[in-house]
A = this chain, B = another copy of it.
């Protein structure tokens, strides 16, 4: 892993101005939203950079993000050993604890009070678009209240749905996990498809198909799984699904389908969404899940073909065993760069990744306004979705391949020379 200290020359003038003005104070960092395999690598990057700056007089962690910050539930990250911080790079989930907490106007005021009371001048928040919104609002309030606070967002989401960044730390690892696991599960169906004919693998991704698309990396030969890949960017008519399944079944005698938890049908409705009040989170997103079960039932009922599903659920997003080494390195780097930029004067920005080249892969850090990222969602673009609506394109594969960190391990494939004479 390269650990270059990072400060890019392309900050705007306001930031260049601030370069001169050193701001002394404590730093607080939090983790928000769904955990990932590498969000602790970002935390390690923050801590390992922060300890090197004299302007930073303390490094605090929020317990469970802003939910803990609201209660002043903070921990002293300088009390952690260097070994622990280094090991964070390879520890999945969110070591500080995470949350999905939508702050009220009063909450923002309360947070500013707490920051002020603790002498905190650096606010770093690792998360997705909800978190970018939180950070943006806090930065705006601090400016209005004339409290000098440097606010930097650090991107993190397996969903890969943030705008203004080539990709999101966390996503390449779930992509590698799914490429590997769907390849194996596909070989399983290839072997036992004579009885377990149709397999539906439900992926995460909410309303975007980035995670589902990555299952295309599982393919190692023409007839390899997955045979049908459905992205929520395209509504899926039940008749089309059944026709697609039947066509593959007639050709190969088996079918492996990957589908996103947020897939919608011809009426624009989720294939299945719980309507229980307990299942709607505090941002109002309905709790998804169940599409694979619904599709299996549809196939069994309409086509009289046995269908089962795998739903790896949270395991896919947080598994440390199959992380992308590119992802670990970039996750660390966005954390590190966030601190370097904040110390240099940046605020109200998110650290983004810009792809510089594919082979060998190289990315650079840039800063984008938090406002641009807040609450916006980047769907899989048209050029990445095959016209038939059940596959990805070569352009997509060129996008994702460099991110997962090298090819999957080689497997044996029997040539299978038939024995002809008896």
Contact = CB atoms under 8 A, between A and B. Distances in A.
Contacts of A290: 293
A118 to B, nearest CB: 6
Interface in A65-113: 67, 72-77, 79-80, 84-88, 90-100
Contact of A194 (B64, B86, B88): B64
30 contacts: A34-B192, A74-B418, A80-B414, A85-B412, A90-B412, A91-B411, A91-B412, A92-B411, A93-B184, A97-B194, A98-B194, A99-B194, A100-B192, A100-B195, A180-B320, A181-B315, A184-B315, A184-B319, A184-B320, A184-B321, A185-B318, A189-B314, A199-B313, A199-B314, A201-B315, A276-B300, A278-B300, A287-B308, A309-B311, A321-B322
Contact of A279 (B199, B300, B410): B300
Interface in A386-414: 409-414
A419 interface: yes
A270 B67 CA distance: 41
Q: Most chain-B Cβ atoms within 10 A of its Cβ — which of A34, A40, A184, A319?
A: A184
B281 A195 contact: yes
A293 B415 CA distance: 41
A117 interface: yes
Interface of A: 31, 33-35, 37, 40, 60-61, 63-64, 67, 72-77, 79-80, 84-88, 90-100, 114, 117-118, 180-181, 184-185, 187-192, 194-196, 199, 201, 276, 278-279, 281-282, 287, 289-290, 293, 300, 304-306, 308-315, 317-322, 409-419, 422
B118 A422 contact: yes
Contacts of A279: 300, 306
Contacts of A313: 185, 199, 201, 308-312
Contacts of A87: 410-412
A198 B293 CA distance: 20
Given A84-B414, A279-B306, 11 more contacts: A76-B418, A79-B415, A87-B412, A91-B187, A94-B191, A98-B194, A100-B195, A188-B317, A309-B311, A320-B409, A321-B322
Contacts of A306: 278-279, 287
Contacts of A319: 180-181, 184
A311 B314 contact: no
Nearest to A58: B419
